[in-house]
C-alpha cells in the first residue's frame, strides 16, 4: 500500500491556506459545518497539484522601529491567539482588539509567539510584562529561554527528535 500523501493545505491566519502556492480563502463565520467541510475539501482539491513556490516571509527587523516591525507582523506574520495576546499587551498603543486571550499550549502555539518576537525583537525585553496576564503566562515567561532552546533544537533537527527534546511535555508541566 503506498504511503499517504501529506496535504499541503491547512489554515494560516484564519484562512484556508495552500503552503505550496500561497493561495488563501477566507470562510466567513458563522458557516454551517457541512458547508465549511465542503469548502475545505474543494480548496484542497483546487490546490492538489500546486507547485511549491510560496516561501514563508521572514522579517528584516534590524534597524527598524517597533511600529515598522509590528506592522510587518500584522501584514505577514503567522497569527494565533497567544501571539495576538502578546501583541495586545506589549503593543498597547496599536489598540489590537481580540475576541479571546490565551497562552501557548503547545509547540505550534509557541512557534507563533517566537516568530512574533523575531519580527518585533524590541518586545523581547518587555516579555516580563506578560507575567501579569495570568499564572500560565508567568510560568511561560519564567521558562521562556528554556522553551526557546527546545524549540530551536527541534527546528534544527527538523522535529525528528521532538519526543526526546520533550518540549510539549515541559510546557504541559508548566500548566500550559
Cβ neighbour number for residue 65 with a 10 Å cutoff: 10
Backbone phi, psi, residue 12, to 5°: -150, 120
Q: Is 89 left (phi over 0), alpha (psi -120 to 50) or beta?
A: alpha
47: pLDDT strictly greater than 90: yes
Mean pLDDT over each residue of the chain, to the nearest integer: 92
Confidence of residue 97 (pLDDT cuts 50, 70, 90): confident
Supply 78's cell numbers.
503567522
In total, the chain counts a number of residues equal to 176
Residue pointed to by grid coordinates 509590528:
70
Residue 1, pLDDT > 50, answer: no
Q: CA 82, 119, 157 angle in degrees (round to 5)?
A: 80
Higher pLDDT, 80 or 2: 80
Report the distance separating Cα 95 and Cα 87, nearest Å.
9
Per-residue pLDDT tens digits for 101-157: 999 999 999 999 999 999 999 999 999 999 999 999 999 999 999 999 999 999 999
Q: How far apart are CA 97 and CA 100, in angstroms?
A: 9
> Dihedral of the CA atoms 13, 160, 172, 125 (nearest 10)?
-60
User: Three-class SS of residue 86?
Assistant: helix
Residue 80 pLDDT greater than 90, yes or no: yes
Amino acid at each position: 500500500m503506498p504511503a499517504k500523501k501529506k496535504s499541503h493545505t491547512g489554515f494560516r491566519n484564519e484562512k484556508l491556506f495552500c503552503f505550496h502556492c500561497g493561495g488563501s480563502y477566507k470562510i466567513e463565520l458563522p458557516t454551517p459545518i457541512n458547508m465549511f467541510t465542503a469548502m475545505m475539501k474543494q480548496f484542497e482539491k483546487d490546490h492538489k497539484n500546486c507547485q511549491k513556490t510560496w516561501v514563508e516571509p521572514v522579517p528584516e527587523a534590524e534597524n527598524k522601529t517597533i511600529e515598522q516591525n509590528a506592522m510587518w507582523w500584522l501584514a505577514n506574520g503567522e497569527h494565533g491567539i497567544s501571539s495576538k495576546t502578546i501583541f495586545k499587551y506589549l503593543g498597547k498603543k496599536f489598540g489590537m482588539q481580540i475576541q479571546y486571550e490565551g497562552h501557548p499550549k503547545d509547540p505550534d502555539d509557541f512557534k507563533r509567539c517566537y516568530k512574533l518576537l523575531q519580527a518585533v525583537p524590541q518586545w523581547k525585553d518587555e516579555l516580563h510584562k506578560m507575567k501579569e496576564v495570568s499564572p500560565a503566562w508567568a510560568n511561560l515567561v519564567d521558562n521562556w529561554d528554556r522553551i526557546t532552546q527546545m524549540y530551536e533544537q527541534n527546528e534544527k533537527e527538523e522535529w525528528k527528535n521532538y519526543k526526546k527534546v520533550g518540549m510539549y511535555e515541559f510546557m504541559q508541566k508548566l500548566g500550559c
